[in-house]
Structure 1
Amino acid sequence: MDQADSAAGKVSAGRSTDARLPPGDFGVVLATLRARRGWSVRECARRANVSEGQICNLESGLRNPTPAVAAACDAAFGTGGELAELAGRRGVRTEGVIEAGPVVAGYERVLWELKDIGRLTGPRFVTASMKSITRMLTDAGPHAVGEQRAEIWLLASKFAEYTGWMAQEAGNPAEALRWTNLAVRWGAHGGDETVAAYALVRKAFIAQHRGDTDAAIGFADRAAGHPAATPVIRAHAARRAAQGYARRGDAGACREALERFRSHTAEVVGDRTLHWGPRVENGNPRLIEATCLLSLRRFELAADLFAAERRRRPTVPADSNSQARFAVRQATALAGVGRLDDACQIVEATLPVIKRIDSATVRAELGQFVEQARPRRAGPGQLALIYASAALALG
C-alpha cells in the first residue's frame, strides 16, 4: 500500500472514499475524488495512464473527457462505470469562455472536503490537491468574464488562504506567508478587500509561533483596525491579541482582549456571510481563556478550566488538530501544578493523533508540555513518555 492509499484509508474513518459520486460535473467530481484519496495530479495521471495536463484541463473544465479518458479515470478510482457515465451526460463545450457557476459551486464543495481531510489527517494529504486546484482556478480566471471572473478569483483566494495555513502546519512559515500574500492579491482581483484584513490575523499567528510576541500583537491590532475588517475578523484579531498579551505577561490587556473577542463573537452568531478563517462562533471562548491562563502561568486555574470545558463541550470529533491542541495544553497545565501522572495519561492517549496529523503547531504545543514536565520528579514510565514527546516535538 502506497502513501496515497494509506491516506485514503485514514480518511475513510471520517468520510468514505467508496460512497456514491459527489455532486457536480465530471471535472468537479474528478477533483473531489482525487482530494478524498489524497492523490496529487501526477499520481492521478499515473494511475489513469493519462497526462498531468489532461487531468488539469478536465478538473478546470477547459476540456471534456473523451470516452477513453473517462473510462481510464473510472478504472483508476474504481467507480464501477459511474464516472464514465457522468462524462457521457456532459455536453460539448464550444465556447472559449468558462461558465463559472458550476466551477465555483463544485470547487467550494471540494474545498470543504479538503478542509475535512486536513482536520483529520494534517497537511501532508491535502497540500498537493490544494496547489493543483489553485493553479487550475488561476488559469481559468482569465477565461471568465464579469462577475463570473470575480467569483473564480475569490475562490482561488480561499484556496490560497487555506494552502497557507497548511504550509504553516507543515512547519514552513515562509511558504505560509507567500500563500497568504497570494490570497490577498487574488481576493482583490475578486473585489474582496476583507481578505487583506484577515491576512494580518494569519501573520499574527505566524509571528506567535515564531516566538515574536510584539509582532503578533502588532499584526492583531492592525487587523482589528483595518478598514475592511468584519466582526469575524475583529474577533479573530482579539483572540490573537489576547494570547499575545498573555505570553507577554500582561494579564490586564489580555483580559480586555478576551472581552473584545467575546463581544465580536456575539455579533456574528447566525451570520452566514462570507468569512475568512474558522467560524468563531463554533469555538469555545472558555478554552481560549484557559489557553491565556496557561501562558500567564496560572496553571491551576488553567487546568481546572480545561478539564471543565473539555468535559462540557468537547471539540468537534472530526477535528483531530483541535482535539490534540487542547489536550496537550491541558496536560501542560497539569504538569505545571505537579500532577504529572494525570498529564502523562492525557499525552499518552494523544500521541498517536499527533503523529498522524504531523502538525508543526501541535508539535510546538507538545514542546511546551515537555518544558513543564522535565523538571518534575518522574517515574521510569513517565520519563520514557517525556523523552518520546520531546523527540516528536522536534519533528
Structure 2
Amino acid sequence: MFGVELRRRRVAAGKSLMALSGDLHYSKGHISKIETGMKQPTAQFARLADAVLDADGALSRLVPADLPDTTSQDDPLVPLWDLPQLRVSRTAAETVAEDDATEQLLRAQFDGIRDMGKRLAPELVIPALTAQIQVVQAVLRGARNPETRRRLGLLAARSVEYMGWMAQEAGMQEESKKRTMQFAALAVAAGDPGLASYGLVRRAELAMYVGDAISTVELAQRALRDPHADARIRGLALHRLAQGYAQRGEYSLCRAALDDAERALDESSSDAGPGGPVLGSSTIADLGAVVAGWCLYDLGRPAEAAELLERALSRTQPEARRARALHGARLALAYEAAGELDRMCETALQALEAARPLGSTTVRSQLSRLSWAVQRRHSHRPARELHVEIIAALHDDPV
C-alpha cells in the first residue's frame, strides 16, 4: 500500500526515481524496492517523503505507528554515525533533559563553538563540536516531553550542519556533504522541513566553491522550489543562484537573482534561526554587497566588485578573521584584475594576516587564485614580494 501511494505521488509530482533519490538522499534502487513492496519503509523515510512530495503526513500514516524508545539506536532525532556514544544512565539522562537550564547551557556552548570557528582552524573546532553533539545525543535519549525533543532535535540538526561547514573548511568535501545531508534528515525528523531546505543551499555553496556552476544553480533552484523554505532561506538560496549564474557569465540572470535576494532577506528576521543562531553568515554586516561583489568579479567587472567588497569589509568586525580572510582575498583578486596593484598588495597582506591561524580550505582556494594572478605582475616589485608571502602561506605545514 505504501509503495503504491509513494509511486502515485512521485509521478503526480513529475519526479523521476533519480530526482526523488536526490531529494531524499536514498539510493534509486532502495526507493524502487519500496515502491514495488520488496522493502518496507521506515518511519523516517516516510517523513522525508511526506515533506518532499508535500503529502501532508499521508505517507507517514501508512507506516505502522510505533512509538520510539528514546534509548533506541533507531531514534530518528538522534544523529547516529561514527561518534562514540556517551555512557549515561537513563535516569540521569531523563533528569537532565527535564531541567530547563540544560537546553540553555547547550545553546550557549554551541554559540561559543561558533565563536571559535570565526577565529581558529577547523581542526581545533571539530573536537569541541563533536563533544557538543555527543552531549545533545545523550540528552535527547532521555527527553520525554515532545516539545523538548523538538527543540533539542533542532539544536542537534544545527550542530551537525555546522560540523559540515567545519569539514568543508578543513578540506573534507565528502565529509561535508555527508554531514549536510544528515542535517537535512534531522531537521525533517524534528518537524521542520523548511530548515531541511537549507541543506540544499549549503550543498549549492559547496558546488560553487569547486566551480561547479551547473550544480550550484540546480541545487539553489531546488531550495527555492521548496514550499517550506522561509524568507531567510530563500534569500540565501538566491545568493547561491546568483553566484552560479555569475560563474556561467549570465549577467542578467545574476542581477535578477541578487535583486530577488535583497527583497527576500528584507522580509526575513536575522535575529535567530530554527534551533540556533541566524542561518548563513552572522559576521558580515552587508551580506548583499559581499555576494554582489563576488559575482561581479566572476562576471568580469572587477572595479565594481572591488567597490562593493571594500564597503562590506569596512563594516566587518576585526575579530571575524574567517570572513576578513576569505573576502579580503577576493577583494585583492578584484584589485589585481582592475590593475590597482598597490591596493591589491595592501589588501592581500591584510587577508594573509587574518588567514594564518585559520587553516581554511575556502580561504586557501582564493589565495591560490591570487597566487596565479600575482605571477603575471612580476615587473611590480611589491607584487613579487607578495607572491613569496602567498606561497609561504599556502605551504605552511601542520604542527
Normalized against structure 2, the TM-score is what?
0.71
Residue of structure 1 in register with 2:142 after alignment: 143
Residue of structure 1 in register with 2:62 after alignment: none
Which stretch has the larger CA shift, 122-131 or 302-311? 302-311
> Is 1:293 aligned to residue 296 of structure 2?
yes
Q: Deviations over 1:224-277 (max 9, x none)?
A: 111221100000000011111111110001000100110001101466563533
**One-letter amino acid of the counterpart of residue 178, structure 2:** R
Residue of structure 1 in register with 2:108 after alignment: 109
Query: Residue 139 of structure 1: CA displacement?
Result: 2.9
How far, CA to CA, are the matches of 1:276 and 1:100 in structure 2? 27
How far, CA to CA, are the matches of 1:318 and 1:224 in structure 2? 33
Cα pair 1:195 1:276 within 8 Å, conserved: no
Residue of structure 2 in register with 1:236 after alignment: 236
Q: Deviations over 1:24-71 (max 9, x none)?
A: xxxxxxxxxxxxxxxxxxxxxxxxxxxx99xx56xxxx47xxxxxxxx
Q: Deviations over 1:63-83 (max 9, x none)?
A: 7xxxxxxxxxxxxxxxxxxxx
How far, CA to CA, are the matches of 2:233 and 2:268 in structure 1? 10
Cα pair 1:100 1:148 within 8 Å, conserved: no
Query: Residue 199 of structure 1: CA displacement?
Result: 0.1
> Is 1:368 aligned to residue 366 of structure 2?
no
Which stretch has the larger CA shift, 99-108 or 233-242? 99-108
- Flag the 1:347–1:98 CA change in 2: closer, same or farther, 3 A: same
How far, CA to CA, are the matches of 2:159 and 2:326 in structure 1? 24
Q: Deviations over 1:186-244 (max 9, x none)?
A: 22232111232000000001111122110011101111111221100000000011111
How far, CA to CA, are the matches of 1:107 and 1:138 in structure 2? 11
**Any stretches of 5+ residues in structure 1 without a counterpart?**
1-51, 64-91
Query: Residue 319 of structure 1: CA displacement?
Result: 1.2
**One-letter amino acid of the counterpart of residue 175, structure 1:** E
Within 5 Å, give how 1:251-330 maps onto structure 2.
251-269=251-269, 272=272, 274=274, 276-278=279-281, 282-311=285-314, 314-330=315-331
**One-letter amino acid of the counterpart of residue 160, structure 1:** V
Which stretch has the larger CA shift, 205-214 or 184-193? 184-193
Query: Residue 358 of structure 1: CA displacement?
Result: 1.1
- Flag the 1:163–1:265 CA change in 2: closer, same or farther, 3 A: same
Query: Residue 331 of structure 1: CA displacement?
Result: 0.9
What CA RMSD, in Å, does the superposition of the two structures yield over aligned residues? Answer: 2.6
Cα pair 1:235 1:264 within 8 Å, conserved: yes
Residue of structure 2 in register with 1:392 after alignment: 393
Residue of structure 1 in register with 2:133 after alignment: 134
Q: Deviations over 1:145-204 (max 9, x none)?
A: 122222222211111011111100111111111111121222223211123200000000
Q: Deviations over 1:78-98 (max 9, x none)?
A: xxxxxxxxxxxxxx9596673
Cα pair 2:96 2:102 within 8 Å, conserved: no
Cα pair 1:100 1:152 within 8 Å, conserved: no
Residue of structure 1 in register with 2:30 after alignment: none
How far, CA to CA, are the matches of 1:308 and 1:147 in structure 2? 43
Cα pair 2:122 2:170 within 8 Å, conserved: yes
Residue of structure 2 in register with 1:118 after alignment: 117
How far, CA to CA, are the matches of 1:95 and 1:143 in structure 2? 4
Within 5 Å, give how 1:322-341 maps onto structure 2.
322-341=323-342
Normalized against structure 1, the TM-score is what?
0.72
- Flag the 1:114–1:198 CA change in 2: closer, same or farther, 3 A: same
Cα pair 1:269 1:281 within 8 Å, conserved: no
Within 5 Å, give how 1:1-395 maps onto structure 2.
62=88, 98-99=97-98, 101-145=100-144, 146-269=146-269, 272=272, 274=274, 276-278=279-281, 282-311=285-314, 314-393=315-394
Which stretch has the larger CA shift, 253-262 or 123-132? 123-132
Which stretch has the larger CA shift, 184-193 or 266-275? 266-275
- Flag the 1:337–1:279 CA change in 2: closer, same or farther, 3 A: closer
How far, CA to CA, are the matches of 1:287 and 1:327 in structure 2? 10
Cα pair 1:336 1:373 within 8 Å, conserved: no
Q: Secondary structure at the match of 2:339?
A: coil
- Flag the 1:142–1:323 CA change in 2: closer, same or farther, 3 A: same
Q: Secondary structure at the match of 1:217?
A: helix
**One-letter amino acid of the counterpart of residue 374, structure 1:** Q
Query: Residue 119 of structure 1: CA displacement?
Result: 0.5
Q: Secondary structure at the match of 1:158?
A: helix
Which stretch has the larger CA shift, 119-128 or 172-181? 119-128
Query: Residue 355 of structure 1: CA displacement?
Result: 1.4
Q: Deviations over 1:304-352 (max 9, x none)?
A: 33334444xx212321111112211111111112222221122123212
How far, CA to CA, are the matches of 1:381 and 1:249 in structure 2? 32
How far, CA to CA, are the matches of 1:98 and 1:307 in structure 2? 47
**Any stretches of 5+ residues in structure 2 without a counterpart?**
1-83
How far, CA to CA, are the matches of 1:100 and 1:166 in structure 2? 30
Q: Secondary structure at the match of 1:98?
A: helix
Cα pair 1:363 1:394 within 8 Å, conserved: no
Residue of structure 1 in register with 2:66 after alignment: none
Cα pair 2:231 2:264 within 8 Å, conserved: yes
How far, CA to CA, are the matches of 2:261 and 2:103 in structure 1? 32
How far, CA to CA, are the matches of 1:182 and 1:215 in structure 2? 19
Cα pair 2:283 2:317 within 8 Å, conserved: no
